[in-house]
């Protein structure tokens, strides 16, 4: 079968896309020295610590604004634990040697399965946090619910991107 130059370029592009999407994680892991990988992990750990500290500051501010009673403290502690708990999933890394033994279609399926597993675990984590927030909300008085609604709406729209309010101001979007 004779291929036209356009068809050949299309086939080359498709092959390159398939190989790159399936092997990107493997390449990223093997392309860097162990020292570079350790430095990247250290940077991620520092970033996670900063994010956790910011989240804890936000929760302390929220608690202060809510003016919780002694009877609400237990509900707060349960809520706090759920909001500050690390996701229950391990950041599984593909074994390079195992991936190298697989064919390209097998590697694609292995990476797809890992992505699906991570997504399922993240969904379960977010569901636990959501249930904890709803349970805590039920322990609040009407005026506290109003404060909670305002604070969480501000936080959620801030995290959500261009829509909503940030720091009390509507921004164009």
**What would the mean pLDDT of 133-145 be, rounded to a whole number?**
96
- Burial class of residue 151, CB neighbours in 10 A (0-12, 13-18, 19+): middle
CB-CB neighbours of 79 under 10 Å: 22
| Residue 165 located in a structural domain | no
Q: Are 129 and 81 in contact (CB under 8 A)?
A: no
Q: How confident is the model at residue 25 (pLDDT cuts 50, 70, 90)?
A: very low
Query: What is the number of structural domains in the chain?
Result: 1
Evaluate if residue 89 carries a pLDDT over 90.
Answer: no
Domain membership of residue 163 (yes or no) is no
Q: Tell me the pLDDT tens digit for each residue of 46-59.
A: 888 888 888 889 89
Q: What is the mean pLDDT of residues 125-132?
A: 92
- Whether 10 is in a domain gets the answer no
Residue 104 inside a domain? The answer is yes
Of 167 and 159, the one with more pLDDT: 159
Say if residues 151 and 131 touch (Cβ distance below 8 Å).
Answer: no
**What average pLDDT score do residues 149-163 get?**
68
Q: What's the domain range around 91?
A: 86-158
Backbone Cα Rg of the chain:
23
* 150/8: higher pLDDT: 150
Task: Name the packing angle between helices 104-138 and 73-84 (round to 10°).
Answer: 170
How high is the pLDDT of residue 146? 96
CB crowding 30-46: b at 16 or more within 10 Å, else e: eeeeeeeeeeeeeeeee
Q: What is the pLDDT of residue 152?
A: 86
What pLDDT does residue 17 have? 42
Q: Is residue 3 part of a domain?
A: no
Residue 172, domain member (yes or no): no
Q: Is residue 58 in a domain?
A: no
Q: What confidence score (pLDDT) does residue 42 get?
A: 80
pLDDT higher than 50, residue 30: no
pTM (2 d.p.): 0.60
Are 164 and 158 spatial neighbours (Cβ–Cβ below 8 Å)?
A: yes
């Amino acid at each position: 079968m004779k291929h036209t130059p356009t068809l050949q370029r299309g086939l080359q592009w498709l092959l390159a896309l398939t190989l790159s999407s399936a092997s990107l994680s493997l390449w990223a892991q093997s392309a860097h020295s162990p020292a570079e990988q350790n430095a990247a992990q250290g940077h991620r750990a520092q970033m996670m610590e900063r994010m956790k500290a910011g989240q804890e500051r936000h929760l302390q501010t929220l608690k202060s604004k809510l003016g919780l009673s002694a009877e609400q403290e237990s509900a707060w502690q349960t809520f706090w634990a759920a909001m500050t708990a690390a996701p229950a999933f391990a950041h599984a890394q593909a074994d390079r040697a195992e991936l190298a033994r697989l064919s390209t279609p097998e590697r694609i399926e292995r990476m797809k399965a890992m992505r699906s597993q991570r997504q399922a675990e993240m969904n379960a984590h977010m569901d636990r946090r959501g249930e904890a927030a709803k349970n805590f909300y039920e322990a609040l008085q009407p005026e506290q619910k109003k404060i909670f609604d305002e604070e969480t709406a501000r936080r959620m729209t801030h995290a959500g991107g261009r829509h909503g309010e940030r720091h009390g101001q509507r921004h164009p979007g």
